[in-house]
Amino acid sequence: MKTPVDWDQSYKAGQYDGAGDRNQGIRYALIAGVVREAGLKSLLDVGCGHGGLRDFLPDSVTMYTGLDISSVALQGANFQRDERTICANVEVWEPDDTYDCIVLSEVIYYCRDVEEVLHKLRGCLRPGGVMIVSVFHHRSRFSQNYRALKRTRRFLSSGELVADFQIVSEMPSRHTWSTLASQLG
* pLDDT tens per residue, range 100-121: 999 998 898 889 999 999 999 9
Per-domain residue ranges of the chain: 7-183
CATH architecture for residues 7-183: 3-Layer(aba) Sandwich (3.40)
Sign of the torsion angle spanned by Cα atoms 45, 76, 6, 170: positive
User: Which pLDDT belongs to residue 124?
Assistant: 94
Phi, psi of 130 (to 5 degrees): -120, 135
Which region among 7-11, 15-19, 68-72, 101-105 has the lowest average model confidence (pLDDT)? 15-19
Q: CB–CB of 44/99 below 8 Å?
A: yes
Q: CB–CB of 120/114 below 8 Å?
A: no
What whole-number percentage of the chain has pLDDT above 70? 85
The helix (H) or strand (E) run that includes residue 128 is strand 125-136
Whole-model pTM over 0.75: yes
